[in-house]
Amino acid sequence: MKLLKYFLLTLILLNMTSFSLTVLGSGAGSLFSALLFGCTLLYYFLNTKPKPQLIFILLGLCYFLISGLKYSGPIREFFVDAIKYFIFIVGAVSIAKDTNRKEIGWIIFIGAMSVLINAVVFSNAYGRYGGFYINPNRAGGACLLAFSLTFYLQKTYLKLFIQLLIVIAGIMTLSRTFILMLLVINLIAIFANKKNSISLVAGSVAIVLVLTVSSLFNLNTVRFSAFKSIFGSEEMETKTITRGSRNETWALYTDIILNNPVTGIGYNGLHGKQANVNIKSGVHNTFLMAIGESGIITFLLFIILYLALFFRSLKHIKSNPEYTCIATVLISFLLVSHNYFDNYLILFFSIWLYDQVKSKSEYKISQIPVKL
C-alpha cells in the first residue's frame, strides 16, 4: 500500500499528468491522467474510509452547478472536469491522512530541484524555468511550499543547505510572487521562533550566488535585470517589475464581474476561453474566477475556507510554523492564478493542511481533563 501511496504522491506533487502531456504528448498525458484517478479510487477503496471533507464537496457542487447553468461550450469537457474534481477530493483525503510532513516535504523538494535542473541542463530561450511544473509561476509556488516544509528539520546545516537549493530554484522561475512571498514566509517563521531567522542566511546566500554566477544561467534578460535592480545600487526598474501585473489583468474583468455577481457568466468564462468574452488572458485570480463564473456563493465559500485554514493554522504557529506558511502560500497562489479545480497540487496541499489543522485541534480538545 505504501508503494501505491508514494506513486500517487509522485503523480500529484510532481505534476506528472501535465508534465507528461506537455513533454511526451497527448497519449502519455492521457495515460498518466488515467493512472492518477484510477489509482486514487483504488487507494480509497482499499483503505479505511475517512470522513469526506464536506467543505470541498460543497465548494465543488456550488461551482459546477451554478457555473454550468450558463455554460455553452462542449458538454463533455464540463462533465469530465467535474467528475475528475470530485474523484480527487474524495480519494485524496485518504492519501492526505496517511501522509506526514516529512514524506510530502521530500517529494515537493524533488519537484523544486527539477526547476534547478531545468535551468542548468535544459535551458531555453524564454529564460524562465518551471521544471516538472512547466509554468514558471506554478513552479514558484511549488518552491515556496517546499521551503515552508523545511522548518520542521532539526539539523541546522541540513536545513540551510536544502533552503539554499530551494531559493536558487525559485529564483530560476523569475516569479515576482516568489520573491515577495519568500520574505513573508521567513517573517512568519521568525515570529514563530526567533531561531528561524537563520533561514534568512540561506536566502541571502542564494541571491548573492545567483547574482555572482548569473552568466552561467540563460535567464530572461528583462526580468533578471529587474531582479538585479532590487538588490543592486542602480535605480530599481519599477516599470519592468510592475508591467503586466495581476491588478491590471483583474481590472479587465471588472465590468463582467459587477454585471453578473449572483450567478456569474458560466464555466470557464474567466479563463480566456469563451467566445463571448473578448479578453484573451484569464483573470489570474481564483477568488475573482469564482465570483465571475459562479457567483457570490462560491466566492464566499472560497473566502471562508481559506481564511479558516489560515486562522486555524495560526493556533499551531509555535509548534508547526509550516502550517501557517503553507496556508499563506496557498492564499497567495489563489490570488494570482485562475486554475483551481484542476490544479491537483494546490488541491492536495489544501486537503492535507485542512486535515492537519483539524485533527490537531480535535486532539487537543480530547486531551482536556473532564472533572466528574
Q: 343 or 254: which carries more pLDDT confidence?
A: 343
Which pTM does this prediction carry? 0.91
Model confidence over 162-184: pLDDT tens digits?
999 999 999 999 888 898 999 99
Provide the percentage of residues in the chain whose pLDDT is more than 70.
90
Q: How far apart are CA 3 and CA 359, in angstroms?
A: 25
**pLDDT for residue 313:** 96
**pLDDT for residue 48:** 83
Question: Would you give the end-to-end CA distance of the chain in angstroms?
Answer: 43
Confidence of residue 367 (pLDDT cuts 50, 70, 90): very low
From its phi and psi, is residue 129 left (phi > 0), alpha (psi between -120 and 50) or beta? Answer: beta
**pLDDT for residue 370:** 43
Mean pLDDT over 3-30 rounds to 95
Half-sphere exposure of 2 (CA within 13 A, CB side): 2
Model confidence over 76-97: pLDDT tens digits?
999 999 999 999 999 999 999 9
Q: How far apart are CA 139 and CA 175, in angstroms?
A: 9
**pLDDT for residue 146:** 97
Confidence of residue 365 (pLDDT cuts 50, 70, 90): very low
* 248-257 own/partner pairs: CB under 8 Å, 24+ apart: 249/281, 249/282, 249/283, 249/284, 249/285, 250/283, 250/284, 250/285, 250/288, 252/279, 252/281, 252/283, 253/279, 253/283, 253/288, 253/292, 256/292, 257/288, 257/291, 257/292
**pLDDT for residue 132:** 96
Model confidence over 194-229: pLDDT tens digits?
999 999 999 889 988 888 887 778 888 777 777 777
**In the predicted model, is pLDDT for residue 233 greater than 90?**
no
Model confidence over 94-150: pLDDT tens digits?
999 999 999 999 999 999 999 999 998 988 888 899 999 999 999 999 999 999 999
Model confidence over 306-358: pLDDT tens digits?
999 999 999 999 999 999 999 999 999 999 998 999 999 999 999 999 999 98
Do 169 and 115 touch, CB atoms closer than 8 A?
Answer: yes
**pLDDT for residue 232:** 60
Cell numbers 450558463 correspond to 70
- Buried-exposed string 192-228: b where 16+ CB fall within 10 A, e elsewhere: beeebeebbebbeebbeebeeeeeebbbbeebbebbb
**pLDDT for residue 89:** 96
Residues in CB range of 354: below 8 A, 6 or more apart: 53, 55, 56, 309
Mean pLDDT over 280-294 rounds to 89
Do 96 and 50 touch, CB atoms closer than 8 A?
Answer: no
**In the predicted model, is pLDDT for residue 40 greater than 80?**
yes
**In the predicted model, is pLDDT for residue 364 greater than 60?**
no
**In the predicted model, is pLDDT for residue 287 greater than 90?**
yes
* Single-letter code of the amino acid located at 17: T
Q: How far apart are CA 216 and CA 119, in angstroms?
A: 10
Confidence of residue 239 (pLDDT cuts 50, 70, 90): low
